[in-house]
A = this chain, B = another copy of it.
Amino acid sequence: MADHHHPLPPLTLVLGGARSGKSTYAESLLTDVAQPVYLATARAGDGEMVDRIRLHRERRGAAWTTIEEPLDLVGTLSRHAHPDKAILVDCLTLWLSNLMLENADIGQEIDRLAQALPGLKGPVLFVANEVGLGIVPDNAMARAFRDHAGRLNQSLAARCQRVVFVAAGLPLLLKDSR
């Protein structure tokens, strides 16, 4: 409930459930950043997601630049991270979902992201879904997704200086190691 806004640490993770307000909260952390960048991991072909990207764009306003990249998160972050910018990745869980659809080696992709994080040349905020707090899903794909998402979140949380859990739009600080 303190003012977590200033200054941005190198790496921030904002965790939360569906419609928890996590993206809006993450955006609020970039209010005073001169060059905020929105890195959307949604695929352009997904109608609902296109609507959401448009709504996000309108809500965020003119200062924001938008990049759309469903798969090559490491390359995109490496190219765009810069000390004068701040990149909001929305969201990690959708990126994971895209990778699974491509039959990628998820463990390897999580490791690649983890290894790239310390070398990024500017602040990055990651938004991710917490998906492991319901009943065990019936189908094996959903269980695998849940396992991967949990491991991805743990990997990121261990490497981010600040981790915030958002519920009903309210932030709860889980880690602040600056």
Contact = CB atoms under 8 A, between A and B. Distances in A.
Interface of A: 1, 13, 15-21, 130-137, 142, 145-147, 149-151, 153-154, 156-158, 163, 165, 167-170, 172, 174-176
A165 to B, nearest CB: 6
A56 to B, nearest CB: 15
B130 A133 contact: yes
Contact of A169 (B137, B145, B158, B170): B158
Contacts of A167: 15, 130, 153, 157, 165, 174
B170 A175 contact: yes
Contacts of A16: 132
Contacts of A170: 157, 163, 174-175
A133 B129 CA distance: 8
A168 B18 contact: no
Contacts of A1: 175-176
A174 B153 CA distance: 21
Nearest to A18: B132
Contacts of A17: 130-133, 150
